Amino acid sequence: MVRYTHVTLCGVELDNPVIPASGCFGYGYEFAELYDINCLGSFSCKGTTLAPRFGNPSPRIAEYTGGMLNAVGLQNPGADAVVAEELPRLAKVFRKPILANISGFSLEEYRAVAEKLAPCPQVGWLEVNISCPNVHGGGMSFGTDPRQAAAVTAAVRAVTDKPVLVKLSPNVTDITAIARACADAGADGLSLINTLLGMRIDLRRRRPILANGTGGMSGPGVFPLALRMVWQVSQAVDLPVVGMGGVSSAEDVIEMLLAGATAVQVGAANLADPYACRDIVAALPVAMERYGIESLRDIIGGAHG
């Protein structure tokens, strides 16, 4: 029996729901040196800000039993360089639309970055990051207040006709309140979750391991929490959800879809194994056969009854 892995995200059909997450796949062409990245459904490019950012001081990575913490701090070359250099280079190795992940420190910055990236032919969706826990004065500060989340959503929505996905923070009491605010402000879909705020301490130095003090916690250890939030948000709003957080196998992808996700992003697994997404895509039909699934479209939200 043929297994159908196609899904549709905000009107755009994907060959499969597997999407490398922002910050874990660069601008794509780095991984194209290892395998044909056109096997992916799409990918979310490295978070892009208006001006270039060096990011946070080192050390920026710490491990924990269930994954890793990062405090990279949105290091990127800036929107103009992405448009002029990164995307043309990507076009040589990837023929599908990508998610352009954008961030800012004010409504004006979000709007300006969206205006620069949205017209690019490679950009299929704008993924608006209002949830980065590793920068000060922006990022997560917009994603923990429904009014600010709505304001950013509306600002980006006003400058593009392309689908707008808002990336939500798990570092809130009620993620559904933020989701509803974004939906009401014109979001076409929601991505969740971004990383959780965490910390490790060096026992010898008796100081935080990360120079930033805290960082974003990711990896398999956060999967059950991410799954719960995808479940809640998919019931709270009538928008497609891109689920992420600790996904590392084809079975995890199927579980996310059953919880209500339309597509699934894979983050930290790419850093542990650069072939992770390729292997998950290859394993999907096998897992579908094991669980009696003919089409992935048919199981989206299937665990809700």
Residues marked as catalytic: 132
Which residue do the tokens 């490790």 mark?
Answer: 200
In angstroms, what is the C-alpha Rg of the chain? Answer: 18
Structure-block tokens of residue 35: 């395998």
d(CA 111, CA 91): 24
Of the candidates 246, 236, 247, which has an alpha carbon nearest to the alpha carbon of residue 304? Answer: 236
DSSP category for residue 56 = S
DSSP string, 188-216: SEEEE--PEEE--EETTTTEESSTTS-EE
Of the candidates 176, 126, 128, 133, which has an alpha carbon nearest to the alpha carbon of residue 151? Answer: 128
Q: Do β-strands 215-218 and 67-70 pair in parallel, antiparallel, or remain unpaired?
A: antiparallel
CB 134 within 8 A of CB 141: no
Which residue do the tokens 């290859």 mark?
Answer: 282
Strands (E), the chain: 7-9, 12-14, 18-20, 61-64, 67-70, 98-102, 123-129, 164-167, 189-192, 196-198, 201-202, 207-208, 215-218, 241-244, 263-266
Q: Would the CA dihedral through 81, 85, 87, 88 be positive or negative?
A: positive
- Residue 271: how many other CB atoms lie within 10 Å: 17
d(CA 130, CA 246): 19
164 three-class SS: strand
Please report, as a single letter, which amino acid is at residue 69: L
